[in-house]
Structure 1
């Protein structure tokens, strides 16, 4: 039986945070955003930090807003991006503001790694990025060893927020799986920690949907919420999305579409064959499964294109951009994984310059043509990676579920169906927050199973289906795109 309840989902992204009330009523979920705030890193003494005191204060502000509105809450949980962390001393005090994964401290951290990528991947199932928690700790050990000597506890970012809320030091499974230090059984890897000579400063790894405690007494007084339960959810934001993917059959995959895109496939266990590593795939844990996934440049270049024109005499909104892209003539494609397209500013000029380098002549694109180049290129990037996923899994994908803010871009959804040659089902633009809240309900016994979570998600929000068209051009365009990427890479 499904109970009624209200659950506050604190969803932190790299650029903003949101407090969303996930409500269960009559077997369906509703979402209401009650607070949104920017998440701006701070450069202090040459190091890029997260502004943790500010972010934690925004959590308290969210609770105060809910209290003023007299919203009865059953629980609260936090999800964030992966890899970053805070360190606590023996008194439970924070040792400095957490460092941002884009800080330069890990630029060379892999240079003298005691384990190669294949060994790390085989042990953890995770792609050995230099920004991983492991290499951040290695950089600390090499450059600021006194910080590690003072450290009593390591907590990834959502676990750190939980500690500040309720006083419990625990590590949640899905966020630990991004650290490069947890093995495929959900335990801290002694092999990796010993090889890197990292002291054991880690807390017990626990599953999503566990009641940690209630708010600290001083926070109860501050917010007015007495006895409010603090839970683990799927604390890595992508894992919260994976928890609500409606179908888990072998012929389905999912795409979390936003500023970044993550293409994934649900599996019972982590897949650690070297072929996955060689193709840029990583494994991460979710509520009752693992998922094999690949990070792909998402809508960031498109968002930058909009910013470029929003102060013009004819400002764009996303709807107008999509309509102009749909009616524009194709001018070619760009490789969105090139660093130029992942940095801010001058997006039209970057597109023009890239195409001139391919074609040997420069052409000034209209706004609609520029938007079409970006969106068609992104759909082709999805198609190439989906083909790779099919090759690696040995299974033909027939349905691609798209969740996240990208579902509002109807042109991109249709082109994804066209160029992937798959049925696309798009829905739930607030997928991370929904997954966060429903896992809380599951942890409190208000939902009976992980399968019920998926059913509630599918039943609560409309899904739009896109059927593939223009199949005669699909293979040709994919081949052109692959060749374009290869030629560009060879010339660099």
Structure 2
């Protein structure tokens, strides 16, 4: 994306989109990292051709996954967080440090793919010099700099929830070599210029600036919060449902509710729950397209789902059986049947069940987070790709009994370029002032709950 930012300007221009999914190798699910880097560099070259005056580059991605370097070189393709090897790490970690103590130290909800579980199941970690999360790894390949951006580092489980620094004592207890943990930097820090060979290929020597490198951290920067008591949902593959706080909430009740404390830009706390998002629908569509050997018309499918009469059965969107790639429609039907109900007949009805079940999970998470913080939540800002799904937005409003303000769609990219622009002095001010610019340039669509 090219971002153009000024006091009254906030625009994005898509430059290049490319597929990014798991690839199965002999030892499990990986990311095709060489292909990703190739696409990134070619995309940067195209961006420079379109806009020679680009000032900087900011990188964000999904969380928890990493690459291991030895002698400055990547040892192996990064594993994909949905690979089942992480289960081995869970047992090893919890034998060394009970989860209650982990939560008190790192503030994170239990997710079996958090980085510390992956590291404890990774035999290559013992041979590596350093671990870099995906956006830090891309930054290293572009600049040569070895650093860990703090918002994403907070998803590893190895950051102290109160200080925002590496918990070295915890790492030692888990057998994670301290050398793997690089120096931390905050959003807005300049990571450096491009390696000469990269600059030559791109056609310019640009500086790389740290942003909220966890995509949700960047997305939250660009949430035009409807009020100080508004919740947010960053909805794509996952639904990240939360509140922005100034201090973490590390209580027994928060731990029992599986709510997480992750760091945001400007030292804010993202108090949120990871909920299965549109992954359930996209995997179902992928299966139906494979069955038909033809593409699915998603807008038509959603229109048919909206027209399904009567109630549809709900299911637990976070059921563990739904977390891996595969025949999602069959697995959802099995979950519904296991609860003693009949599975929906037809794709439209199953799609409606998927959307309503995601919306119910969102509504439950919003009310749980409100109760845990003593916040009377009065609106939900829903950003990301899910904000285009009118059926999901309305269902979330209905099931939460709260207004939903949908958009912007590209919140992550907007938050990314806003942090870069502030670092360059093109805009100034607090997160609230940055969000006011978002609200002026990308006003959200409002969905009121129906009786």
Determine if the TM-score, normalized by the shorter chain, exceeds 0.5: yes
Conservation of the 8 A alpha-carbon contact between 2:82 and 2:323: no
Is 1:209 the counterpart of 2:191? The answer is: no
Aligned to 1:120: 102
Is 1:286 the counterpart of 2:264? The answer is: yes
Which string of whole-angstrom CA distances, capped at 9 and with x for unpartnered residues, describes residues 39-72 of structure 1? 2433344143322222112111012212333442
**Bigger mean CA deviation after superposition, 248-257 or 208-217:** 248-257
Which of the numbers 128, 131, 136 marks the counterpart of 1:154? 131
TM-score (norm 1): 0.84
- How many angstroms apart in 2 are the aligned matches of 1:70 and 1:396? 45
Conservation of the 8 A alpha-carbon contact between 1:28 and 1:459: no
Conservation of the 8 A alpha-carbon contact between 1:120 and 1:128: no
Residues 421/97 of structure 1: CA separation in 2 closer, same or farther (3 Å cut): same
Which of the numbers 234, 255, 270 marks the counterpart of 1:277? 255
Once the two structures are TM-superposed, the CA of residue 331 in structure 1 deviates from its matched residue by: 2.9
Which 5+ residue runs of structure 1 have no aligned equivalent?
1-19, 471-492
Aligned to 2:78: 98
**Which runs of structure 2 are paired with 1:268-417 in the superposition (5 Å)?**
268-288=246-266, 289-310=268-289, 316-329=296-309, 330-344=311-325, 346-359=327-340, 362=342, 365-417=345-397
Aligned to 1:483: none
- How many angstroms apart in 2 are the aligned matches of 1:130 and 1:345? 19
Which of the numbers 95, 107, 111 marks the counterpart of 2:91? 111
| Superposition misfits of 4+ residues, deviation over 6 angstroms | none
Once the two structures are TM-superposed, the CA of residue 160 in structure 1 deviates from its matched residue by: 1.2
Larger Rg: 1
Is 1:434 the counterpart of 2:414? The answer is: yes
Which of the numbers 34, 46, 54 marks the counterpart of 1:65? 46
Conservation of the 8 A alpha-carbon contact between 1:318 and 1:409: no
Once the two structures are TM-superposed, the CA of residue 82 in structure 1 deviates from its matched residue by: 0.9
Size of the aligned set, in residue pairs, is: 443
Once the two structures are TM-superposed, the CA of residue 335 in structure 1 deviates from its matched residue by: 2.0
Conservation of the 8 A alpha-carbon contact between 2:63 and 2:214: yes
Once the two structures are TM-superposed, the CA of residue 150 in structure 1 deviates from its matched residue by: 3.6
Conservation of the 8 A alpha-carbon contact between 2:22 and 2:31: yes
Is 1:35 the counterpart of 2:35? The answer is: no
Residues 225/123 of structure 1: CA separation in 2 closer, same or farther (3 Å cut): same
Which of the numbers 154, 168, 173 marks the counterpart of 1:195? 173
Which string of whole-angstrom CA distances, capped at 9 and with x for unpartnered residues, describes residues 178-208 of structure 1? 0111112111112201211322112221111
Which of the numbers 210, 213, 226 marks the counterpart of 1:232? 210
- How many angstroms apart in 1 are the aligned matches of 2:357 and 2:26? 39
Is 1:253 the counterpart of 2:214? The answer is: no
Once the two structures are TM-superposed, the CA of residue 403 in structure 1 deviates from its matched residue by: 0.1
- How many angstroms apart in 2 are the aligned matches of 1:444 and 1:413? 35
Once the two structures are TM-superposed, the CA of residue 348 in structure 1 deviates from its matched residue by: 4.6
- How many angstroms apart in 1 are the aligned matches of 2:23 and 2:347? 34
Aligned to 1:480: none
Conservation of the 8 A alpha-carbon contact between 1:400 and 1:424: yes
- How many angstroms apart in 2 are the aligned matches of 1:110 and 1:369? 37
TM-score (norm 2): 0.91
3-state secondary structure, aligned to 1:29: strand
Which 5+ residue runs of structure 2 have no aligned equivalent?
none
Residues 365/250 of structure 1: CA separation in 2 closer, same or farther (3 Å cut): same
